[in-house]
Structure 1
């Protein structure tokens, strides 16, 4: 038997089939375009997204002979789609980076109570969350608000289009800021304030639960040869963390991609005033009874893309000539030692802990002798120092992080991964999991149909692990740099407040 994990991201979707031993049998990927018709808007055409999802499912089915018996879904958080009667999509999905609702937050938060909102949802107010986007729809698109039978995230929207009553996993529901993460139900207090009946939302269920079978004609259309169970998955970060083997407290995923993100496993809900003030959330993890937080830099790995596009002409030309990778050539020029530059890595809005949508980046210490390699490394140091700031706040709140498991494209470069270990002064493990999100979703599917706890299904990684231990000398230098880094944001914040 085999299992499909599908990952519905912001820029594309991927389906991967795994066998009983977690070995990849086939994969398929499709991209789609984020639409930005106006300033602060970021949308996806949900019809296009679903079409691409069906394409990747059909393609992997054509590549495997082992019967697929179950499918799990990993999905980007927060984005939702209005769906009318008869399942017709009546509007685009606002993705996380859509910030059009930012001006609606103060009135709602002040009226409802920021502390009360945090105590229910485990999150602090930000325009990325579904709650504030729905308020915007109600005020600015009243016809869509009235005509929508459902407002569905992509996990539950795919259920609907597969002929299944829509269900939403607890981790996904937690990202909406409409969900009580302790009672595990939609919050009547929040829904009543915005005038939304819970019947217009999907049914919340824990991760790893069978929510239905794919409708027979749809299954044949997608290339399935037998009955296929659909299993609740989760928010993409939590599913990828599961796929990376994060099943015991003390370990934490460090995702290196477009966004850099920490996702640990917590044995119980963790709420505190310090976490709230630093915008560090708490919501359900994909292992039953466990919780997580996410700490992230929205600039993340995109900062290296900026270097390639703006400073990497030579490396791009070399890559074309030698059929190589421009990123590899850029990273080869980094000096071995920590740089003397200090970078504030806010090339887009900040993530945690500040949630500052107006922040700007800075490179401090440039001289005529500064090289491109130093700038490249300093930018990556800046992102790593930002993540170290989040780690310090997490640990000060009682979370114990012993080691990190790194995932994402950035793990392919040893120098970059070693830099993370040195800055964090923690062990960083790289595992041989190319598609952690899809693997985590497939694990949940396999667990549900085999009735084996998901912890018991994760294959052993020890023989293929790469382990990066912090260099004591460099770690000490980065500790000194970190003390300066913590003062950089407060010192420069005044700059963008007067230069809007």
Structure 2
């Protein structure tokens, strides 16, 4: 038999399938596009996502007829919620977390509860990227859709409903709404009452790994007895799938670039609040994770590919290589003298500034495209280093980074990471670890993995380290000099970028 983790991301979905012993079988993938109907607006069309999900699940079923899929759980992008009617049919697009909408509704909460009070309930501080502020925008600016909406479903819940399962949102995904009490493990009446929203608009909650029922008859080729389980937010799924232990952090680079740690105890709250860090539940009773991130991750290299790349694209086509392999080849050996502020899709932690803009500083007439490419990679990792140092202040010390996501396949990028972070970066045998985490969660729900010990053995087998890249002392010294400048970059330019942002409103 086999198990599947359905990894639903911002720009694509992948069905990652394993045998119950951890043997990797297949991972069909399909992309979809973010829509931007207006300046600052970013949305996903739920029908396009559903079509992609159906395609990859159908391919996964066809490719595993000899090892039928017996469990399914999702790893899901955070914050985005689909408005659905009484038949769970979508009424409009889902607004993405780093969409600029929602800021005007923040005072509804911040004038009634302090950041610390909200953090003590929800494990997060107040920021407009959370789902409740997107729901409030919909209420105030799209009343026709809002009035017809029976529920707002995350994409994991929406896919459950599309498969005929009564939709439930897991604890980790519920936490990304800012309306969930991370200790009581239920919707927070204090927060919902403060902003004037009803819990009736939100799905029932379930612990990750809850068995939600058998799939039943379907047109995807999946066995009717395949168990559908409550899954995880994609970052906790990655932390689980990478086998993160105390003293380690996931370093995930997809559309977003993210650190993820499994907490031994609750962190120092004030340092977390002051720097917009968070904590929230994951798989297992009393288990919590924390993440720090920048909303612009690998998407920045995609921006370069689509807008600035020169001969690399036809060269990649001619030799049958990935364009990113060509783009990232032949980079300067030493650190560049450029600084990239990677806020091209607002910021993440610690700033959480939805009016921030990106910048490239230090350009000269002699600057080459290869220098710009390397500076993009450096800028993303400078931002991650900033968050790593804040974690240290909160008592979370990171000694090893485990790389996942598309960037982990690039030794060039990962060596830059080790040099800037000043810590080893481990490369895992399997790159699709959010799918590993989701698949393991579903298998636990179905009883295919009988207990925590079997779960841990499965994860250990899938998260084997194949190589460790050590920081190079001289490169780290040079990056230390540049980071000392970088850490002042956002505070020095934020007023200017806010004024520029206002021009586009």
- TM-score band w.r.t. shorter chain: over 0.9
- Aligned residue for 2:24? 24
* CA deviation after TM superposition for structure 1 residue 319, in Å: 1.7
SS in 2 for 1:54: helix
* CA deviation after TM superposition for structure 1 residue 336, in Å: 1.4
Matches within 5 A, 1:308-327: 308-327=305-324
Q: Give per-residue Cα distances to partners, 1:187-206, cap 9 Å, x unaligned.
A: 01122234433343222222
The separation in 2 between residues aligned to 1:68 and 1:308, in whole angstroms, is: 37
Q: Give per-residue Cα distances to partners, 1:325-347, cap 9 Å, x unaligned.
A: 33222322212122233332223
- Aligned residue for 1:241? 239
- Aligned residue for 2:327? 330
- Aligned residue for 1:299? 296
The separation in 1 between residues aligned to 2:375 and 2:15, in whole angstroms, is: 36
- Aligned residue for 1:120? 121
Q: Contact conserved, 2:8 with 2:14, CA < 8 A, in 1?
A: yes
- Are residues 271 and 83 of structure 1, via their aligned partners in 2, closer, same or farther at CA, if it must alter by over 3 Å? farther
- Aligned residue for 1:452? 451
Give the alignment partner of residue 268 of structure 1, picking from 241, 265, 272.
265
The separation in 2 between residues aligned to 1:487 and 1:19, in whole angstroms, is: 49
Residue 152 (structure 1) aligned with residue 153 (structure 2): yes
Q: Give per-residue Cα distances to partners, 1:371-415, cap 9 Å, x unaligned.
A: 332222222111111110010001111112121100111112212
* CA deviation after TM superposition for structure 1 residue 252, in Å: 0.9
SS in 2 for 1:97: coil
Q: Which deviates further from its counterpart, 274-283 or 33-42?
A: 33-42
TM-score (norm 1): 0.94
Runs of 5+ unmatched residues, structure 2 = none
Q: Give per-residue Cα distances to partners, 1:156-199, cap 9 Å, x unaligned.
A: 22222222222111111110111001111110112223443334
Q: Contact conserved, 1:299 with 1:348, CA < 8 A, in 2?
A: yes
- Aligned residue for 1:56? 56
* CA deviation after TM superposition for structure 1 residue 463, in Å: 6.3
SS in 1 for 2:25: strand
Q: Give per-residue Cα distances to partners, 1:444-491, cap 9 Å, x unaligned.
A: 112222322122321336865110111122112222221121122222
Number of residues of Structure 1 aligned to a counterpart in Structure 2: 496
- Aligned residue for 1:39? 39
The separation in 2 between residues aligned to 1:31 and 1:363, in whole angstroms, is: 29
The separation in 2 between residues aligned to 1:48 and 1:377, in whole angstroms, is: 34
Residue 405 (structure 1) aligned with residue 402 (structure 2): yes
Q: Which deviates further from its counterpart, 32-41 or 232-241?
A: 32-41
Q: Contact conserved, 1:447 with 1:457, CA < 8 A, in 2?
A: no
* CA deviation after TM superposition for structure 1 residue 437, in Å: 1.7
Runs of 5+ unmatched residues, structure 1 = none
* CA deviation after TM superposition for structure 1 residue 368, in Å: 4.1
The separation in 1 between residues aligned to 2:368 and 2:153, in whole angstroms, is: 49
Q: Which deviates further from its counterpart, 363-372 or 334-343?
A: 363-372
Q: Which deviates further from its counterpart, 80-89 or 70-79?
A: 80-89
SS in 2 for 1:404: strand
TM-score (norm 2): 0.93
Matches within 5 A, 1:388-427: 388-427=385-424
Q: Which deviates further from its counterpart, 159-168 or 184-193?
A: 159-168
Matches within 5 A, 1:116-195: 116-195=117-196
* CA deviation after TM superposition for structure 1 residue 43, in Å: 2.0
The separation in 2 between residues aligned to 1:271 and 1:121, in whole angstroms, is: 15
Residue 227 (structure 1) aligned with residue 225 (structure 2): yes
Matches within 5 A, 1:475-486: 475-486=476-487
- Are residues 184 and 475 of structure 1, via their aligned partners in 2, closer, same or farther at CA, if it must alter by over 3 Å? same
Q: Contact conserved, 1:42 with 1:94, CA < 8 A, in 2?
A: yes
- Are residues 447 and 409 of structure 1, via their aligned partners in 2, closer, same or farther at CA, if it must alter by over 3 Å? same
